[in-house]
Structure 1
Amino acid sequence: MIEAPADITEDAFLGGQLRLKQKRSGHRAGHDAILLAAATEARAGDRVVDLGAGIGAAGLALARRVAGINLSLVEIDPELAELARANAAANGIAAEAIVLDVTADAQAFAAHGLVPDSVDVVLMNPPFNDPARHRGSPDQARHTAHVASEETLNAWVHAARRILRSNGVLTLIWRADGIADVLAALSRGFGSLSILPVHGEAGRPAIRVLVRAVKGGRAPTRLLPGLMLNDESGVPKKEVKEILEGRAVLPLAEP
C-alpha cells in the first residue's frame, strides 16, 4: 500500500512535462536521474530497462523524450515500485514496474520476462556511496538507495550485461572518484565507452561520471569535455537548465 497522501509529495520534472509522486522521506529523485535520462540514447521500439528505478524518474523521463519505447522499471522496494507504476499511469506513459532485486539470478529475471540477450538499452543509477567514507542513513530505504557494498557495481553491471543483446547499450551514473571501479566492472563484456565527467562548479573536481558502454563494443574509449552544472558565480548554466527541463540532451545520447 502507498503511504497516506501527507507522506507523499508531487514534484515537477522536465520543466513540468513530468509530474512524479514520491515519498517525503527517504531517497528522493533529483538531478542525477534527469541527467541519466538525458545521457541515454533510445529509439521507438527499443526495449529499455531502468535498473533500480525507484519512483521511475529516469526511465519515465527517457520515455517522455522518446515515444514508443518498451519500458520496464525494476525496483527492489515494493512501495517505490508501486509509486513508479502509478507515476507512469498518471503521466500517460506505458511502462511495467517489476519488484525485483537487481542482484538476483538469471532465473528470477527470466520469471519477469527479462531473459538473457533480450534488451536494447539499460540505464541505471546504482547505490554508489562508499560505506567506508559515508555515514549511512538510519532510514533503511534511503540507506539501500545510497550506500554501495564492495560488490554492488559489479553485480549491477553483470545484470545489465546478461539481459542486454549484443551491441546493446548501458548508460550509468556513478560518483567521479569511483571511475576506476566503473572501468574495471565494464572491462568484462563491454567496450566502446564514452565518459562524461560532471562538475558541480567550474574549477572544481568532477562529482559524477556518466558512462555509455556497448555490450561487445570494440571502439576506443572517449573522454568527453566535462559538463559544468554551475558557472563561476554558482548560477546554473543555460545549457544545463535546458537539459533539466527536457529541451536538450547530453552528448552520450546523440547518435
Structure 2
Amino acid sequence: MTDSGEFTEDAFLGGQLRLRQRKSGHRAGHDAMLLAAATPARSGDRVVDFGAGVGAAGLAVARRVAGIELALVEIDQGLADLARGNAAANAIAADVIVLDVTSTAAAFAAAGLSPDGVDVVLMNPPFNDPARHRASPDKTRELAHVATVATLESWIHAGRRILKSGGVLSLIWRADGLVELLAALDRGFGSLAILPVHSDAATPAIRVLICAIKGGKAPTRMHAALLLKDESGVPNKQVQEILAGKGVLPLAIP
C-alpha cells in the first residue's frame, strides 16, 4: 500500500490488480475479491458490475477472464472517476457508467444497458439493516453499506431486466438476510448455487455468496462452507490463494 494524501493505492490478487481508493469512506476488501472469485464468466461475455465503487470486483473478474466486455455501474461520480482511472492503470478495458441501480429501464437503456443484453451481472449491494446499524457520518460510506427496505429487490430486479435468458447473477449478501434474498430471487431466477462464508468453524456464517440463473430450473445447490480461518485461527490456505488470484470458488466453475 502506498500513501498519496487522501488516497491509497492497494494491491489485490497478489499484486495482479492495483486500485487507487479513498482513505476514508467505503473501501474495497475481501468481500469484493470473494465475489469476483465466485462469478462465472467466459471470454466474450458482457459482464456488468452493479455498485462497482472503485471497480474492485469487476476488474478482478476481468483480470481473471480475458476478453470480457466489462461495464462498471456506480452512482457516485467520485468513485466512478476512480474506477475509470483504475481500469486504465491496470490496462483493463471497461465502460464506467454513472447510474443509480434503481433507475428506470429507460435510464438503463440510455446508458447502453438494454433489457436482455447481458451475460453476467455481479453485485455487492448495500446490505446492513438500518434498524441495527449505526449510520456512518460519512455519507459515501453510508450509501455503500446501509440498505433501504427496497434495496435488495430493486437491485435484483435491475439485474434480471438486463440479463439474457440463462444469464448469471452473482452476489454477496449478509448471511442473516438469506430468507429475504431467496424471496427476491424467487421472481425470475432459479438454479441457485449457495456458498456460506464463516469467520471460523465455531461461528455462524457472516456472508452468503450466491449464483442464480435467469429462468433456471435446476435444484438449488448448497456448497460446503468456506471458512476464513481454520480451527486454530490461522487464515485458511484456500482463501489466501483465492485472495492472491491463484484460484476461484466453486460457484465460478460451470
Tell me if TM exceeds 0.5. Answer: yes
**Residue matched to 2:103:** 104
Secondary structure at the residue paired with 1:55? coil
Q: Map of 1:111-130 to 2, 5 A cutoff?
A: 111-130=110-129
Quote the Cα distance in structure 1 between the aligned partners of 2:102 and 2:118: 17
Deviation at 1:164, TM superposition (A): 0.1
Secondary structure at the residue paired with 1:167? strand
**Residue matched to 1:158:** 157
Q: Map of 1:157-176 to 2, 5 A cutoff?
A: 157-176=156-175
**Residue matched to 2:71:** 72
AA in 2 matched with 1:167: G
Quote the Cα distance in structure 2 between the aligned partners of 1:235 and 1:139: 33
Deviation at 1:203, TM superposition (A): 1.7
AA in 2 matched with 1:94: A
Q: Map of 1:139-158 to 2, 5 A cutoff?
A: 139-158=138-157
AA in 2 matched with 1:7: E
**Residue matched to 1:16:** 15
Query: TM-score if structure 2 supplies the norm length?
Result: 0.98
Quote the Cα distance in structure 1 between the aligned partners of 2:4 and 2:207: 33
Quote the Cα distance in structure 1 between the aligned partners of 2:170 and 2:24: 27
What CA RMSD, in Å, does the superposition of the two structures yield over aligned residues?
Answer: 0.9
Quote the Cα distance in structure 2 between the aligned partners of 1:110 and 1:82: 21
Deviation at 1:233, TM superposition (A): 2.3
**Residue matched to 2:249:** 250
Deviation at 1:202, TM superposition (A): 1.4
Deviation at 1:136, TM superposition (A): 1.2
Q: Map of 1:1-255 to 2, 5 A cutoff?
A: 5-255=4-254
Deviation at 1:5, TM superposition (A): 4.2
Deviation at 1:231, TM superposition (A): 1.0
Quote the Cα distance in structure 2 between the aligned partners of 1:181 and 1:11: 34
Deviation string 1:164-192 (CA, Å, 9 cap, x unpaired) is 00000000000000000110000000000
Quote the Cα distance in structure 1 between the aligned partners of 2:84 and 2:40: 23
Quote the Cα distance in structure 2 between the aligned partners of 1:48 and 1:10: 25
AA in 2 matched with 1:55: V
Query: TM-score if structure 1 supplies the norm length?
Result: 0.98
Q: Any stretches of 5+ residues in structure 2 without a counterpart? A: none
AA in 2 matched with 1:54: G
Quote the Cα distance in structure 1 between the aligned partners of 2:62 and 2:233: 31
Percent identical residues: 72
Deviation string 1:102-155 (CA, Å, 9 cap, x unpaired) is 000000000111000000000000000000101010100000000001100000
Deviation string 1:27-51 (CA, Å, 9 cap, x unpaired) is 0000000000000000000000000
Q: Any stretches of 5+ residues in structure 1 without a counterpart? A: none
AA in 1 matched with 2:148: S
Question: Which portions of structure 1, spanning 4 or more consecutive aligned residues, are displaced by more than 2 angstroms?
Answer: none
AA in 1 matched with 2:22: K
